């Protein structure tokens, strides 16, 4: 089984992205808290060069936060690279990001004043692989700044939105390409929704996910599908299919539809909170 999900146009975006990153002072890199490693773009260090970068592990509400934090603590975090776990859908879910922005702003201000330059708002840009919540985060940052009155401005064809005296944001996010060629990473990206279901072998991904769900044995999973925990994969499909009326014809279970239900409800957090890395 090979997941052929990598859209060719993403190759072309690298050049454009490199040019855009040159215009900013700080990069807000978004990843998925459920797959903190697998949702990393393989070229992010090269793209950001030595720019300050804030890595936002989004969808904290769906992740096993303890496990994610354990993973993050073990990673090297070089100077100028900050991280935090966020839930961009929640009001106030980005509070910590603003604190880090203050910190980065302070560093720039010091640098500027050393050169006799007047302080100005930092220029930032949001980047990340598909579906990690880039648009949601931009909207959430905007909402918070409505009080101060977000103002659009244009420089060299790029739209900037002034969010505060300390931050201007590029209005469109940079879409990064995910890791290629690693089956396990592909399955994780598929399960969490970073790869569109149309190109995803949904049954394979659901089977892989079910094995994990059966290992973790969280009550949310068993209760949701009325399972007793002793079923094998086939029996799980049968039970879900019957309860939800997902038949092909007659009494034949529609495996594809059952797989989609499993993936959809997993992504909504209805089967419990998981970190898959
Ligand atoms: P983008 O493709 O990176 O711009 O991602 P979007 O902003 O379109 O978000 C993708 C999906 O994730 C949408 O259905 C969002 O509602 C959802 N989403 C974004 N942030 C969060 C979050 O913090 N928690 C949860 N549960 N869902 C989120």
Q: Residues 21-41: pLDDT tens digits?
A: 999 999 999 999 999 999 999
Number of residues assigned to the chain: 277
Centroid of ligand 1 to alpha carbon of 248 (angstroms): 32
Task: Tell me which of 62 and 199 has the higher pLDDT.
Answer: 62
Centroid of ligand 1 to alpha carbon of 88 (angstroms): 8
Q: Which atom of ligand 1 is nearest to the CA of 269?
A: 26
- Is the C-beta atom of 29 inside 6 A of ligand 1? no
Q: What are phi and psi of 247, to 5 degrees?
A: -115, 150
Centroid of ligand 1 to alpha carbon of 130 (angstroms): 10
Mean pLDDT of 54-81: 97
Concatenate the DSSP letters of all residues of 222-253 into one string. Answer: HHHTT--S---HHHHHHHHHHHHT-BSSTT-B
Residue 246 · residue 253 · CB < 8 Å:
yes
Centroid of ligand 1 to alpha carbon of 32 (angstroms): 9
Reported confidence tier of residue 246, pLDDT bands at 50, 70, 90: very high
- Is the C-beta atom of 61 inside 6 A of ligand 1? yes
Strand partners, 26: 124
Strands 26-32 and 53-58: parallel
Centroid of ligand 1 to alpha carbon of 89 (angstroms): 7
Residue 88 · residue 133 · CB < 8 Å:
yes
Q: Rounded to an integer, what distance in angstroms lies between the CA atom of residue 245 and that of residue 225?
A: 13
Beta strands in 107-262 (DSSP E): 122-128, 151-155, 158-162, 167-170, 174-175
Nearest CA to ligand 1 atom 12: 133
Residue 210 scores a pLDDT above 60 = yes
Q: Is 115 exposed, middle or buried (0-12, 13-18, 19+ CB in 10 A)?
A: exposed
Strands 167-170 and 122-128: parallel
- Is the C-beta atom of 134 inside 6 A of ligand 1? yes
What structural domains does the chain harbor?
9-175 (3.40.50.300), 201-267 (1.10.1580.10)
Write down the ipTM of this complex. 0.99
Nearest CA to ligand 1 atom 25: 59
Tokens of 42: 């393989």
Strands 81-85 and 53-58: parallel
Q: Rounded to an integer, what distance in angstroms lies between the CA atom of residue 226 and that of residue 22?
A: 53
DSSP 62: G
Q: What are phi and psi of 57, to 5 degrees?
A: -90, 100
User: To 5 degrees, how large is the angle CA 274–CA 37–CA 101?
Assistant: 100
Task: Tell me which of 91 and 13 has the higher pLDDT.
Answer: 91
Residue 9 scores a pLDDT above 80 = no
- Is the C-beta atom of 58 inside 6 A of ligand 1? yes
Reported confidence tier of residue 159, pLDDT bands at 50, 70, 90: confident
Centroid of ligand 1 to alpha carbon of 234 (angstroms): 31
b/e string for 210-229 if b means 16 or more Cβ within 10 A?
Answer: beebbeeeeebbbebbebee
Mean pLDDT of the chain: 91
Which range, of 19-28, 157-166, 262-271, averages the lowest pLDDT?
157-166
């Amino acid at each position: 089984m090979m997941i052929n999900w990598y859209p060719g146009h993403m190759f072309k975006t690298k050049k454009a992205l490199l040019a855009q990153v040159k215009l900013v002072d700080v990069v807000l890199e978004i990843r998925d808290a459920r797959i903190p490693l697998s949702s990393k773009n393989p070229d992010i260090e090269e793209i950001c060069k030595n720019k300050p970068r804030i890595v936002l592990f989004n969808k904290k509400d769906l992740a096993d936060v303890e496990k994610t934090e354990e993973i993050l603590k073990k990673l090297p975090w070089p100077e100028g690279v900050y991280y935090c776990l966020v839930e961009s859908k929640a009001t106030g879910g980005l509070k910590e990001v603003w604190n880090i922005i203050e910190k980065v702003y302070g560093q720039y201000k010091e640098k500027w004043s050393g050169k006799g330059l007047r302080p100005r708002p930092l220029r930032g840009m949001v980047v990340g692989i598909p579906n990690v919540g880039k648009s949601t985060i931009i909207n959430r940052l905007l909402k918070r700044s409505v009080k101060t009155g977000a103002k659009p401005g244009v420089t060299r064809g790029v739209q900037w939105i002034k969010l505060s005296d300390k931050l201007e944001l590029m209005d469109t996010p940079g879409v990064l390409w995910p890791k290629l060629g690693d089956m396990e990473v592909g399955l994780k990206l598929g399960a969490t929704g970073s790869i569109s279901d149309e190109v995803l072998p949904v049954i394979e991904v659901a089977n892989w996910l079910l094995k994990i769900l059966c290992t973790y044995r969280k009550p949310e999973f068993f209760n949701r599908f009325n399972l007793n925990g002793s079923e094998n994969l086939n029996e799980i499909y049968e039970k879900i299919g019957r309860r939800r009326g997902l038949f092909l014809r007659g009494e034949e279970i529609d495996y594809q539809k059952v797989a989609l239900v499993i993936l959809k409800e997993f992504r909504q957090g209805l089967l419990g909170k998981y970190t898959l890395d």
